[in-house]
């Protein structure tokens, strides 16, 4: 490997770039997690998390990757053999479904083509058929990170309500929380699953469950075995700022800084607008290159990443190899059935216009170097949009 000068461009859709301030916060001496300094910090962090999830309910923090929070959501609320309705939006939805099977649940998988989000009408129809109320939970991935397709969570909630069905509603927001508008309480979600290494701008290692009162009530009768993932002990200890086992103290230092950046300095609404704007610029680049955006439904475009179909349906692995070797830029790969077929541009987390332009430059040069059929002008199209948007912003500020 030759020496690479300058910064690595980490533009996979998670883990994302960690701000220097967050890294510096993590790089502090570890304190006693049963002492007063820790207690002050964990109270601030647990309160800030509720704002990010837009909930008044408890948010539980596990020292684990996102996969742990998937498991926690299922084992705290369900019993062996319970039916759960899941939706095949892509690779991550499939993994969650596989996990449900391994845990001894009976998942039903609504088939999908991976290019569309969960269909609220299909969920409503299946729930309406379930006269005996055997389905105990509906599980949807908000932002399918393998495809760049979002699901309309508020509409899924309405579909469940139209069917008058009592199932719990669980949503994976691992790659949407703090990037794409999300509201745990308003959308009537019972368990929201999230992780640290995407929109929250931290390294991997923390995962979260926001837990509604209905989910807590379900936990009382749920019979799947659980110990490490048990909400009850966690929530009881959290009330005073403690944890039932050693928390990931230094990641929590980082989370405190990330929450201040998101909530106090930038503001969540601005965070969402920034992501939408970068996503739109990325899509304009893709169209100008003459390439195809993998998401087939514009209402479901992702604000956190854009998946791009390789012309001719192959060559993603070699293309990404060329881009990494020449430009020290990591792009997301095609996962499972999309292997070698799509590459993914992560534009979430701590990110700005020039980072996006640099990323798109690396892609445009890489397409040429790897001999991928395309047109020039993607970067220019993105720049036009970004500069136009910036000019409009200046005008609005001047007028205010
Ligand atoms: C990243 C991701 C996961 C998996 O999280 P890990 O931290 O790798 O365990 C699950 N679901 C979605 C939507 C993701 O983006």
Q: CA–CA distance from 131 to each of 80, 138, 171, 209 (Å)?
A: 20, 16, 24, 30
Query: Ligand 1 centroid vs 118 CA: distance in angstroms?
Result: 18
* Domain CATH code at residue 273: 3.90.1150.10
Ligand 1 atom nearest to CA at 68: 9
Q: Are residues 245 and 272 in the same domain?
A: no
171 close to ligand 1 (CB < 6 Angstrom): no
Question: Does residue 90 share a domain with residue 221?
Answer: yes
Contact 144, 89 (CB under 8 A): yes
Answer whether 54's CB lies under 8 Å from 186's CB.
Answer: yes
Does 102 share its domain with 161? yes
Judged against a pLDDT cut of 80, whether residue 241 lies above it is answered with: yes
Please provide the average confidence, as pLDDT, over all residues in the chain. 97
Q: Is 195 in the pocket of ligand 1 (CB under 6 A)?
A: yes
Same domain, 292 and 383: yes
Regarding whether 369 and 272 lie in a shared domain, the answer is yes
188, with CB counted inside 10 A (0-12, 13-18, 19+), is middle
With a cut of 90, say whether residue 253 has pLDDT above it: yes
Lowest mean pLDDT among 244-258, 307-321, 380-394: 380-394
Q: What is the pLDDT of residues 372-400, one digit of tens each?
A: 999 999 999 999 999 996 566 566 666 66
Beta carbons within 10 angstroms of residue 132's beta carbon: 7
What's the gap in Å between 207 CA and the centre of ligand 1? 10
CA–chain centroid gap for 190, Å, is 17
State if residue 145 touches ligand 1 by the CB under 6 angstroms criterion.
yes
Residue 210 placed within a domain: yes
Q: Which atom of ligand 1 is nearest to the CA of 143?
A: 13
pTM of the model: 0.97
| Nearest ligand 1 atom to alpha carbon 195 | 7
Distances (CA, A) of 174 to 2, 195, 344, 353: 34, 5, 16, 23
Residue 231 lies in a domain: yes
172: Cβ below 6 Å to ligand 1? yes
Residue 18 zone, left/alpha/beta (φ > 0; ψ -120 to 50; rest): beta
Q: Which two tokens stand for residue 129?
A: 């058929």
Decide if 252 is inside a domain: yes
Segments of 288-349 assigned E as strands = 292-293, 305-309, 329-331, 342-346
| Residue 389 CA: distances (Å) to CA of 167, 276, 278, 306 | 43, 12, 11, 20
346/370 same-domain check: yes
Last residue of a domain, one of 264, 282, 307: 264
The rounded Å distance from CA 166 to ligand 1 centre is 27
Cβ of 66 less than 6 Å from ligand 1: yes
Q: Which residues are bridge partners to 301 per DSSP? A: 149
- The minimum-distance atom of ligand 1 relative to the CA of 145 is 15
Q: How far apart are CA 328 and CA 2, in angstroms?
A: 11
Q: Measured on CA atoms in the order 321, 325, 326, 329, is the torsion positive or negative?
A: positive
Rounded to the nearest angstrom, the distance between the alpha carbon of 236 and the centre of ligand 1 is: 27
Residue 153 lies in a domain: yes
Shared-domain flag, residues 113 and 189: yes
- 176 in ligand 1 pocket by Cβ < 6 Å? no
Q: What is the pLDDT of residue 397?
A: 63
pLDDT digits (tens, 9 = 90+) for 198-213: 999 999 999 999 999 9
CA of 27 to the centre of ligand 1 (A): 25
Residue 140 Cα to ligand 1 midpoint, Å, equals 13
141 close to ligand 1 (CB < 6 Angstrom): yes
> Residue 276 pLDDT > 60, yes or no?
yes
pLDDT-derived band at 126, boundaries 50, 70, 90 = very high
Identify whether residues 144 and 272 lie together within a single domain: no
Same structural domain, 242 and 275: no
CB atoms within 10 A of CB 244: 14
What does residue 341 show for φ and ψ, rounded to 5 degrees?
A: -105, -35
Angle at 363 between CA 357 and CA 365, to 5 degrees: 100
Query: For position 395, what pLDDT does the model report?
Result: 64
Task: Report pLDDT digits (tens) over 18-73.
Answer: 999 999 999 999 999 999 999 999 999 999 999 999 999 999 999 999 999 999 99
For residues 367 and 377, what is the distance between their CA atoms, to the nearest angstrom? 12
Query: pLDDT exceeding 90 applies to what percent of the chain?
Result: 96
The number of folded domains in the chain is 2
Q: Is residue 378 part of a domain?
A: yes
Q: Which atom of ligand 1 is nearest to the CA of 197?
A: 7
Summarised one tens digit per residue, pLDDT across range 178-190 is 999 999 999 999 9
Are 70 and 184 within one domain? yes
DSSP bridge pairs for 150: 143
Q: Does a structural domain hold residue 30?
A: yes
66 alpha carbon – ligand 1 mean position (Å): 5
Single residue among 215, 239, 264 that ends a domain in this structure: 264
The pLDDT of residue 3 is 85
Would you state the structure tokens that stand for residue 148, as one six-digit string? 């760049």
Q: Do residues 120 and 259 both lie within one domain?
A: yes
75 Cα to the center of ligand 1, angstroms = 18
How many of the other CB atoms lie within 10 Å of CB of 175?
Answer: 32
Identify which of 140, 195, 304, 307 to mutate to test ligand 1's pocket (most ligand atoms within 8 A of the CB): 195
Look at residue 280 and tell me whether its pLDDT is greater than 70: yes
pLDDT at residue 139, rounded to an integer: 99
Q: Which domain holds residue 338?
A: 9-16+267-399
Residues 158 and 120 in one domain: yes
Asked which of 264, 287, 314 is the last residue of a domain, the reply is 264
> Rounded to whole angstroms, how far apart are CA atoms 212 and 188?
8
Instruction: For 60-93, write each residue's pLDDT tens digit.
Output: 999 999 999 999 999 999 999 999 999 999 999 9
Structure tokens at 253: 């230092």
Tell me the two tokens of residue 101. Answer: 């099977």
For residue 1, being part of any structural domain is answered with no
pLDDT the model gives residue 2:
75
Residue 2 located in a structural domain: no
Residue 392 has a pLDDT of: 62
**377 CA distance to ligand 1 middle (Å):** 33
Q: Are strands 106-110 and 83-87 parallel, antiparallel or unpaired?
A: parallel
CATH number at residue 238: 3.40.640.10
């Amino acid at each position: 490997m030759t020496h690479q000068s300058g910064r690595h461009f980490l533009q996979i859709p998670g883990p994302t770039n960690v701000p220097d301030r967050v890294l510096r916060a993590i790089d502090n001496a570890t304190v006693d997690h049963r002492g007063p300094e820790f207690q002050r910090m964990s109270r601030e962090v647990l309160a800030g998390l509720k704002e990010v999830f837009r909930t008044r309910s408890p948010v539980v923090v596990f020292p684990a990757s996102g996969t742990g929070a998937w498991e926690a959501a299922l084992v705290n609320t369900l019993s062996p053999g319970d039916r759960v309705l899941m939706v095949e939006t892509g690779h991550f939805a499939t993994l969650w479904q596989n996990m449900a099977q391994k845990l001894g649940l009976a998942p039903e998988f609504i088939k999908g083509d991976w290019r569309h989000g969960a269909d609220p009408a299909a969920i409503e129809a299946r729930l309406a058929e379930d006269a005996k109320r055997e389905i105990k939970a509906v599980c949807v991935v908000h932002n399918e990170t393998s495809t760049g397709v979002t699901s309309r969570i508020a509409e899924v909630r309405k579909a469940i309500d139209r069917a008058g069905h009592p199932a719990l509603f669980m949503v994976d927001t691992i790659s949407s929380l703090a990037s794409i508008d999300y509201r745990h309480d308003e959308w009537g979600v019972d368990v929201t699953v999230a992780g640290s290494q995407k929109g929250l701008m931290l390294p991997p290692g923390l995962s979260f469950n926001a837990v509604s009162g209905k989910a807590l009530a379900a936990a009382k009768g749920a019979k799947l075995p659980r110990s490490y993932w048990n909400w009850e002990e966690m929530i009881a200890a959290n009330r005073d700022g403690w944890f039932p086992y050693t928390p990931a103290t230094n990641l929590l230092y980082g989370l405190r800084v990330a929450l201040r950046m998101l909530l106090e300095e930038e503001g969540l609404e601005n965070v969402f607008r920034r992501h939408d704007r970068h996503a739109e610029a990325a899509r304009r680049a893709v169209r100008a290159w003459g390439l195809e955006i993998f998401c087939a439904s514009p209402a479901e475009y992702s604000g956190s990443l854009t998946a791009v179909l390789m012309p001719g349906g192959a060559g993603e692995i070699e293309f990404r190899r060329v881009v990494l070797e020449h430009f020290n830029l990591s792009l997301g790969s095609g996962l499972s059935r999309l292997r070698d077929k799509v590459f993914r541009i992560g534009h979430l987390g701590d990110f700005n216009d020039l980072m996006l332009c640099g990323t798109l430059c690396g892609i445009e040069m890489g397409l040429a170097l790897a001999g991928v059929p395309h047109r020039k002008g993607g970067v220019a199209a993105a720049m036009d949009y970004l500069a136009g948007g910036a000019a409009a912003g200046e005008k609005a500020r001047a007028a205010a």
